[in-house]
Amino acid sequence: MPLTLARVMPSYRVNVLGFEEVPARYSWVMRHIEPLPIEQVLPALRDALRGGTGAVLQAPPGAGKTTGVPLALLDEPWLGGRRIVVLEPRRLAARAAARRMSVMLGESIGDTVGYRVRHESAVGPGTRIVVVTEGILTRMLQSDPSLEKFGLVVFDEFHERSIHADLGLALTLQTRAILREDLRLLVMSATLEGAPVAALLGGAPVVTSEGRAHRVEVRHLPRRAGTKLEPAVAAAVREALDVEGGDVLVFLPGAGEIRRVEELLREVDADVIPLHGNLPPAQQDRAILPSPQGSRKVVLASSIAETSLTIEGVRVVVDAGLSRVPRYSPRTGMTRLATVRVSRASAEQRRGRAGRLAPGVCYRLWSRQEDAALPERSSPEILEADLAPLALDLAAAGVRDPGELRWLDPPPAAAFSEARSLLAQLGALDRSGGFTRHGAAMTRLALHPRLSHMVMKASELGARDTACEMAALLTERDLLRRNEGVPEADIRTRLDLLRGTVVRQDVDRDALRRARAEVAVCRRSGGGKSDRGRTDVGVGVLLGLAYPDRIAQRRPGPAGRFLLRNGLGAFLDPQGLSREDYLVIPELDGKAPESRILVAAPISIEEIRERFGDDIAIEDVMEWDPVSHAVAARRRERLGAIVLRDTALRDPDPALVAGALMAGVRREGLHVLPWDSGARRTRERITFIRTLEAGWPDVSDRALMDSLERWLGPRVGGLARLDDLTRVDLSAALLDLLSWEQRAALDRLAPTHVMVPSGSRVPVDYGDPTLPVLAVRLQEMFGLTETPRVGGGAVPLTLHLLSPAGRPVQVTRDLAGFWRTAYFEVRKDLRGRYPRHHWPDDPLEAEPTSRVRRKK
């Protein structure tokens, strides 16, 4: 049956003047006598689900899909009396949708329509439509993988692409493929492209509703540079109240901005109402329900009001253009909330809120140029989020590899691998990657895996109550409002506020209420001993159970700088905790190069040794000390990057010392080695032969540095200082690189000296391996017609012919040619400069000599 007033109000007659004696609870229906736009596509949607097991419904905000579709499908024959489960992205939307459908049926919540959200349920034995938040579906699949009581799963507002929606769809597709071929899936979205989702569902049909949106005029009011957000928003709201009619819906990034704008609008002639997910249901309802006759309201909302909710009476939207989203960093292992520009799709969703019932106006606090630069859509959360909860849920479902499931966007491999490593560290996975009993217990607490592990382990220590309090403080928004000035980081202050033992003016009352509710639920979850009155389990120890990678040690120097176990740096603004030697830090801002510590607790070295002793490694470390130019041998107790104790090591392993010494050589450079003339000549001779024959070792700086252990290592045993290296014969060390055959050929191919006609042994200079040089006095070469050669006769030496004073007078590689030509010019010059020496007319017939001889 189509969704009409006859269906939702069967007991009341309609005449031309309207309804008679309609109760107040049907006031919403009275304002929506016009058929909802979604009714036009309901026949096509019914046909799609009758002919297959999936469909995609694209319908803009205000079309009525959230409440109209489940009611319209309730009597379908393929449902067979089973239930429909509708997934909403937020608790507020889930409760509001269930309440609205119940009103349309003239029933109470829990009759035909009910809901289940975190820590709250309104479902009766006759409930046919259950509206849930997305994490609830995962729990339902873990307890009943076949979803036996359900015939249809509806994913509403899927365009938001929350990680829970992606996981829920992947697991439901697996259920349909393996256990329930008859299970229907319906994905509904306002802005998402339907084709990729339809393909994921196996080629499901796409049904599109045009909706019924009134014209909304867009007015840009860009903020001036340097202007704070809140005053600009307040000014826009005042202008809207002065110029336009109807109620005003304001979009702000989060609760802090909402609170500050509320203060600035205290004097306006309208009811200013905050709306965000941390408010109690009664206050949320106050924002959603219509204003009393003759009054106006201004709803200050987070992105919670973008979809699913219809806020009565809104004619004006003021959009700050920002949203707050979680951003996870695999480098730091931390998630922080980042304030980002909204996407174009989100901006359009927000604008559409002003045109639900009549033409409206949307004030955008950015320029037209900035508008053109907005991203089309927000990034799916699964690509940005901490994947540890998802990895735990998959492990509970028996899925080790996400590739086993079908995803619109699969989890990034690196982030998923890191998430499983964390689960293994927390004991949720065994060494083979299998799911443990401890992991199964963690899933029952509906907390982040870190906090679930903390509560479970604290139960064994008799400290469950305190662990529940800590989990609540870390799950909910901070109890202390972070205004101007240095934020207080000590979590023990928040614990005292939670317990009511201290009272402060800067407490966030909503956060305090929610935290206490979380504590109550955690304590009711059972297991463990009460710790009331106990003092032997410190707060830092409990935090360390949840965040073992964030135990931190104060660095030397000024107070407030810390080194985390995972190797990252952090700093703490001046306060009591900044002087502690060790902290556990569950919350940082994640910024580089050092993160600011936002929440922490002290832990003692004794507590670290007692509770985390199994993680402490003892290692003997040999390090090069660049100041003393020597190897420092130390024994260290290390917790990750943190050194707990560092003492001098007696009788260190000589091999380790040698390795550290060579590391020092690498650090300082080869020039620190004792390169005497013999070692340099050996190196040059080997290099020369390498230019002639393949297979000879490379003795360049880079090659020697790369093979340091091979040629230098065997000769540094027992040495620990740079000065000790003077005892190393580097020439012999280099010769160790040669084979037996190469050593035998070395003197033949690259002799160190050449015998010249005078009988002198003159050294050969191989400094330039392509042009080896023989520097010899000219008189010692008389009578020699051929240029001396090396390299087995392949390379003529470059002769530097010297005067009696040892100065070059000629450079040649053709000695015979020199005697024939250039000698006579040289002879003229030398006879004048060295008259006591013999300068014959025929040098080939003269007697070579290294002495001074008078002329005859």
Residue 333 lies inside a defined structural domain of this protein: yes
Q: How far apart are CA 153 and CA 173, in angstroms?
A: 10
Of 22-26, 195-199, 670-674, give the lowest mean pLDDT range. Answer: 22-26
Residues 80 and 181 placed together within one structural domain of the fold: yes
- Determine the Cα–Cα distance for residues 684 and 772; give it in Å rounded to an integer: 10
17 with 165, same domain: the answer is yes
137 within domain boundaries: yes
Same domain, 159 and 256: no
pLDDT at residue 770, as a whole number: 92
Long-range own/partner contacts, residues 66-69 (CB < 8 A, 24 or more apart): 66/93, 66/97, 66/156, 66/157, 66/188, 66/308, 67/97, 67/100, 67/101, 67/104, 68/3, 68/36, 68/38, 68/39, 68/42, 69/38, 69/42, 69/45, 69/154, 69/186, 69/188
DSSP string computed for 275-331: E-TTS-HHHHHHHHSPPPTT--EEEEE-GGGSSS---TTEEEEEE--EEEEEEEETT
- Which of 214, 197, 146 lies closest to 174, judged by CA? 146
Q: What does the alpha-carbon distance between residue 3 and residue 7 come to, in Å, rounded to a whole number?
A: 6
Answer yes or no: is pLDDT of 3 > 60: no
Which single residue is written with the structure tokens 């994905």? 187
Question: pLDDT digits over 263-316, tens only?
Answer: 999 998 999 999 887 777 777 778 887 777 778 999 999 887 776 667 778 899
Q: Which of 208, 235, 251 is the last residue of a domain?
A: 208
Q: 319 and 179 in one domain?
A: no
Looking at the structure, tell me whether residues 379 and 486 fall in a common domain: no
The answer on 100 and 61 residing in a single domain is yes
Backbone angles phi, psi at 745, to 5 degrees: -90, -10
User: Do 778 and 636 share a structural domain?
Assistant: no
Whether 299 contacts 353, CB under 8 Å: no
On whether residue 399 sits in a domain, the answer given is no
In the predicted structure, residue 29 carries a pLDDT above the cut 60: no
Cα separation, 306 vs 486, whole angstroms: 34
720 and 769 together in one domain: no
Does residue 412 lie in a domain region?
Answer: no
What pLDDT is recorded for position 654? 87
Q: Is residue 531 included in any domain, yes or no?
A: yes
Tens digits of per-residue pLDDT, 706-745? 999 899 989 988 888 988 999 999 999 999 999 999 999 9
Type of residue found at 760: S
Is residue 46 included in any domain, yes or no?
yes
Q: Which of 440-449, 533-542, 620-629, 690-699 has the lowest mean pLDDT?
A: 533-542
- Name the least confident of 182-186, 509-513, 577-581: 509-513
Residue 56: inside a domain, yes or no?
A: yes
How do residues 346-375 score in pLDDT, each as one tens digit? Answer: 898 899 888 877 899 999 999 999 999 999
| Residue 186 lies in domain | 5-208
- The whole-number pLDDT of residue 308 equals 64
Quick check: 9 pLDDT over 60?
Answer: no
3-state secondary structure 24-54: HHHHHHHCCCCCCHHHHHHHHHHHHHHHCCE
Q: Binning pLDDT at 50, 70 and 90, where does residue 17 land?
A: very low
**Which of 383, 408, 437 corresponds to the end of one domain?**
383
| pLDDT in the model for residue 389 | 94
* Count of the separate structural domains present in the chain: 5
- 856 pLDDT more than 50: no
The pLDDT value recorded for residue 526 is: 59
Question: Please, what is the average pLDDT of the chain?
Answer: 88
User: pLDDT value at position 535?
Assistant: 53
344 by Cβ neighbours in 10 Å (0-12 / 13-18 / 19+) ranks as middle
- Assessment of whether the complete model's pTM goes beyond 0.95: no
Confidence at residue 529, expressed as pLDDT on a 0 to 100 scale: 52
pLDDT digits over 799-852, tens only?
Answer: 999 999 999 999 999 999 999 999 999 999 999 899 889 899 999 999 999 876
Do 190 and 145 belong together in one domain?
A: yes
Percent of the chain past pLDDT 90, that is, above it, reads: 64
Mean pLDDT value of segment 397-424: 93
Biggest CA–CA distance in the chain, Å, is: 152
Q: What pLDDT does residue 532 have?
A: 56
Q: Please give the residue that has the higher pLDDT: either 3 or 121.
A: 121
Distance CA 89, CA 83 (A): 20
pLDDT beyond 80 at 446: yes
**What pLDDT is recorded for position 4?**
42
Q: What is the mean pLDDT of residues 459-485?
A: 86
Determine if the peptide bond prior to 602 is cis (ω within 30°): no
Q: What is the pLDDT of residue 558?
A: 86
Q: Per-residue pLDDT tens for 104-147?
A: 999 999 999 999 998 789 999 999 999 998 789 998 998 899 99
Q: Which stretch of 466-475, 500-509, 742-751 has the lowest confidence by average pLDDT?
A: 500-509
Q: Quick one: 303 and 291 in the same domain? A: yes
Inside any domain, residue 439: no
pLDDT, tens only, 531-590? 554 557 899 999 999 999 999 999 998 889 999 998 999 999 889 899 999 999 999 887
Q: What pLDDT score was predicted for residue 510?
A: 83
What's the rounded Cα separation, in Å, for the pair 55 and 202?
10
Domain end residue (candidates: 584, 610, 636): 610
Query: Do the beta carbons of residue 32 and residue 212 sit within 8 Å?
Result: no
Please tell me the predicted confidence (pLDDT) of residue 717: 86
Whether residue 85 is found in the same domain as residue 233: no
Structure tokens at 258: 């909402």
Sheet with 630-639: strands ordered across = 617-625, 630-639, 642-648
Q: What is the mean pLDDT of residues 14-34?
A: 37
In a 3-state reduction of DSSP, which class is residue 472? helix
Do 520 and 507 belong to one domain?
Answer: yes
The CATH number given to whatever domain includes residue 348 is 3.40.50.300
